[in-house]
Amino acid sequence: MASRNPLGSLFGRSPIGPIQLHMKVATEAAEHLPELLQATADEDWGRAKEIHKAISADESAADKLKRDVRRHLPKSLFLPVPRSDLLQLVSIQDQVANTAQDFASVVMGRDLRFPDKLFPAVLELASTSVCCCQHALKAIQELDELLEVGFSGREVKRVEAMLKELDKLERKTDKQQFSLRRKLYKMESELAPVDVMFYYRAMGLLGELADIAEKVGDRLQILLAK
């Protein structure tokens, strides 16, 4: 008996389902980051290694889903939005998982542990950035409902309210990142220059994660406007 493609079956039920699943997996990769930071603060490198593996597994799963969506998203969909826009949405979503993986690789590549004076603020930035991803996921999970109502009516207003909240969270991460950079700048003379470079890099990736989540929301906003 020929095996069935589970993703193909999911497409058969809903053209949006695999796109929502992709964002869920990408968000799961990001959700590990505060836990990874806490493990490094505790100098529990064994635990940190396991978390890194989990992030890598999520990134690989998201990458596979992205390729499958590109191959199997039907070309003859009668949707109120172009197929190309949905594929672009998936490409942006995939950057969530990629950025989480990049952050984990920077941390684990150098056994990077933030100074105690910086750690609470770094953890707060990571948590807010993850919250941005979770808000973007909640909005993407409304795609089925939006499809049913033809991207119009009260459902659109509800999703637009979600996207406004996402924008507010992203602006919060901008302020958190600026504050962190100022704190690190004042501590630079006390730290190894190479470590300082990687601290800035890691902090930048956390800010980038929030920016990408906002881009997911922006792409959804474009779909709502069509």
Query: What CATH number did the domain enclosing 169 receive?
Result: 1.20.58.220
- 85 in a structural domain: yes
pLDDT of residue 10: 45
- 1 in a structural domain: no
Question: Which residues of the chain fall below pLDDT 50?
Answer: 1-12
pLDDT of residue 4: 42
Residue 117 to residues 123, 191, 204, Cα–Cα distance (Å): 11, 12, 18
Give the total number of structural domains in the chain.
1
CB atoms within 10 A of CB 80: 12
Pick from 23, 185, 57: which is nearest to 118 by CA?
Answer: 185
pTM assigned to the model: 0.90
- How far does Cα 25 stand from its chain's mean position? 9
- 6 in a structural domain: no
- 149 in a structural domain: yes
Q: What does the block give as tokens for 162?
A: 């979600």
- 7 in a structural domain: no
- 3 in a structural domain: no
CB atoms within 10 A of CB 188: 13
pLDDT of residue 84: 87
pLDDT of residue 212: 98
pLDDT of residue 3: 39
What is residue 149's DSSP assignment? T
79: left (phi over 0), alpha (psi -120 to 50) or beta: beta
Where would I find the H helices in 110-192? Answer: 119-140, 143-148, 154-187
Q: pLDDT tens digit string along 76-135?
A: 556 667 788 899 999 999 999 999 999 999 999 999 999 999 999 999 999 999 999 999
- 99 in a structural domain: yes
pLDDT of residue 134: 98
Residue 22 identity: H
- 166 in a structural domain: yes
Calpha distance 135→130 (Å, rounded): 9
Q: What share of the chain is helix, strand, coil (3-state, %, to 5)?
A: 80, 0, 20
Q: Which domain holds residue 167?
A: 14-225
